[in-house]
Amino acid sequence: MASIVKRKKSQFWTACFASRDGRQLKRSTKSTDKNQAMEIAIEFERVERKAMAGALTSAQIKRVLNDVSEKVTGDTLIAPTTEVYLTEWLAGVGARATEATVERYTHSVKLFLAHLGDKAQKPVTAVTPRDAEGFLTGRLKAGVAPKTAIVDLKTINIAFRRAATYDIILKNPIATVRPPREDSSERAVFTQEEVQKLVTAAPTVEWQTLILFGYFLGARLRDCVRMTWDNVKPETGVIEYQQQKTGKKVTVPMHYHVIEHIHFLATFGTHGFLSPKLAGKLSGGRRGLSEGFKRIVIKAGLDTMTVPGKGIRKFSRHSFHSLRHSFNSALANGGVPEDVRMKLTGHASKVMNNRYTHLNVETLKNAMTTMPLFGPTSAKGTPGNHE
């Protein structure tokens, strides 16, 4: 019969019970509560009896330990399957993250579960660093750019880091995987004259709205197409919107050409989306907005600058996102300070802002004129001549 005793100089109760071979064993319960300690002692002995009968399996051991944990702490030890855990995690993310973030996380989770196969139905504790490394390798072999593979790995890492924090797993298996070197393809910028050609080549007024907003607001395509009249603040002369990607609120004063265009749009009504017919379209796909913009670039007589990407897909250096680069670069070339440009674009870091800054040669030349000149010198020898 199981019992408990209190040893000297120990705050914990000790369980006394019979082993499978008849020996009397003593194990610390690691509990200071007498009733809890007795529960643990009884379960210890129950395990030994089942083992003696030869009817103890690993599943039964887990069940017994789970019962002990639930009785003592109120929590279970049996972890959910990887699929169940990640699905529940996504549900939590959806309650506090932006729509774009949820969409990106969901895609990465779907790919990870597909990589695990049947193992996705096993406890989340069964995922190993080898699984994570295999997932990363598989993404790279599939031809995606390293940057894309890194995003997928970071997403899964966030989920498993939470599992470790909540003691669902002992250690985050994703954290040990070394990501590849990030090597992003560089966007090109549009000149002012080229933007004018794009506006002229636009097949509809709605496309003109998107192009003007992309260049004069520096907004992403997804944000431009979701703009409504509520975002327009004529009393203060600004456009305020919340970036779908980051959730950050951005305020941009309206340029003259934007004001002129807004006045024209107002003749058709001032309610709902500014580009209602395009608002329901997706960005990707052959009939998506990105491909639609590419057709406008070609119609304007401009080069899409399509080059091999870092993965198997081709990359257009002249895409709609280039308008955002052009906006930031035009401000930089005009002498607008970096901190102001960061506010207008919604960039959180200087590193990211620098990636969007493309200084033209004239600006660089002007910068060099600020370098101080040498004073009069008498030495006119050849380099290295110090006589």
Contact 120, 159 (CB under 8 A): no
Q: Assess whether pLDDT exceeds 70 at residue 162.
A: yes
Whether 77 shows a pLDDT value over 70: the answer reads: no
Tokens for 58, please give them: 């690993």
3-state secondary structure of 239: strand
Considering only residues 14 and 368, tell me which one the structure prediction assigns the higher pLDDT.
Answer: 14
The arithmetic mean of pLDDT across residues 358-386, rounded, is 52
Average pLDDT (161-172) is: 88
CB count in 10 Å sphere of residue 67: 15
> Over the stretch 124-133, which tens digit does the pLDDT of each residue have?
988 999 999 9
Determine contact, residues 336/329, Cβ cutoff 8 Å.
Answer: no
Residue 368 has pLDDT above 60, yes or no: no
Higher per-residue confidence, 195 vs 346 = 195
Rounded CA separation 230/272 (Å): 8
pLDDT tens figures, 235-249? 989 999 999 888 889
- Whether the CB-CB separation of 29 and 40 falls below 8 Å is answered with yes
What is this structure's pTM?
0.55
Helix axes 338-345, 321-333, angle to 10 degrees: 150
More confident residue, 185 or 159: 159
Query: Can you tell me the mean pLDDT for 214-230?
Result: 94
The answer to which of 119-123, 248-252, 359-363 has the lowest mean pLDDT is: 359-363
82-165 folds as: DNA polymerase; domain 1 (1.10.150)
Q: CATH: 1.10.443.10, 3.40.50.2000, 3.40.50.10860, 3.40.50.2300. Which one for 192-367?
A: 1.10.443.10
- Partners of residue 13 on adjacent β-strands: 6
Band (pLDDT 50/70/90 cuts) for residue 212 is very high
- Domain range summary for the chain, segments of one domain joined by +: 3-73, 82-165, 192-367
Q: Which tokens in the block code for residue 63?
A: 């069940």
Between residues 348 and 321, the one the model is more confident about: 321
Q: What pLDDT is stored for residue 372 in this prediction? A: 57
pLDDT band at 83 (very low <50, low <70, confident <90, very high): very high
> Is 7's pLDDT higher than 90?
no
Q: Does residue 190 carry a pLDDT above 50?
A: yes
Of the pLDDT bands very low, low, confident and very high (cuts 50, 70, 90), residue 383 is: very low
Q: For the chain, give the percent of residues with pLDDT over 70.
A: 80
303 vs 160, more confident: 160
Average pLDDT score over the chain: 82
